[in-house]
Structure 1
Amino acid sequence: MNNINILVVDDDLVNLKLAEIMLKKHSNVGEIIKANNGLEALNVLTERNDINIVLLDIVMPVMNGLEFLDNIQVKEKISKIPVIVLTTDETVKREAFNKGANDFLTKPIVEKLLIEKINKFTALD
């Protein structure tokens, strides 16, 4: 896969910017789309069919990450998109996996680990 488009979902602008800076260093990253909550992310995924992976925070207003996972599971078109959960709360790990998350990273995000996780689902190098 040449350019992968990544949807980053987090209500913290600093976390969004950090993820963007880490991802932009890699030549195979195409577009980085940002959403501030699960509902915004769901709208992006419904409107676009070129998102390759989702990086998802759990604790957010409007629609949290777990609610987002519930919602994408019932939408066939977007249920196959890999989701990596990014959170400070290790206690939600099992629940996130049970709701369909594909992987998990604890914040603060380490760039090397983030790229390794993305590599599992895409051809990022």
Structure 2
Amino acid sequence: MNSNQLLVDDRPVAAVEVADTALTRARGLLFRRVLPEALLLRPCSSVHGAWMRVPLDVALLSTDGEVVHAQVLRPWAVTRPRRGVTQVLEAPTGSFERWGLRAGSRLAFISA
């Protein structure tokens, strides 16, 4: 997985791992004892909380990095696919509130 810096509305907020292969997307955050600050899955339009033990902050993003929808995903729940979503950002619960991330926010990823 690649590591990058996550910017929310041009503010650096966290390190982000990028899962951009079939294998890294399939693994996602499953079975990890320690969660990264953030994980970007791309291409991806929906995620599930199967086998997860804790809720996650999840943002559904357009190709240009606009947050289409943000929510807390509970274990065993599923996000509803939405038009224009091509990538998904996951983070520990409470991260989005700290970062000021919400629907309409613009995200950018800078290679570390």
Q: TM-score range by the shorter chain?
A: 0.3 to 0.5
TM value normalised by structure 1: 0.37
TM value normalised by structure 2: 0.40
Q: Structure 1 or 2: larger strand share?
A: 2
Higher relative contact order (CA 8 A, sep 6+): 2
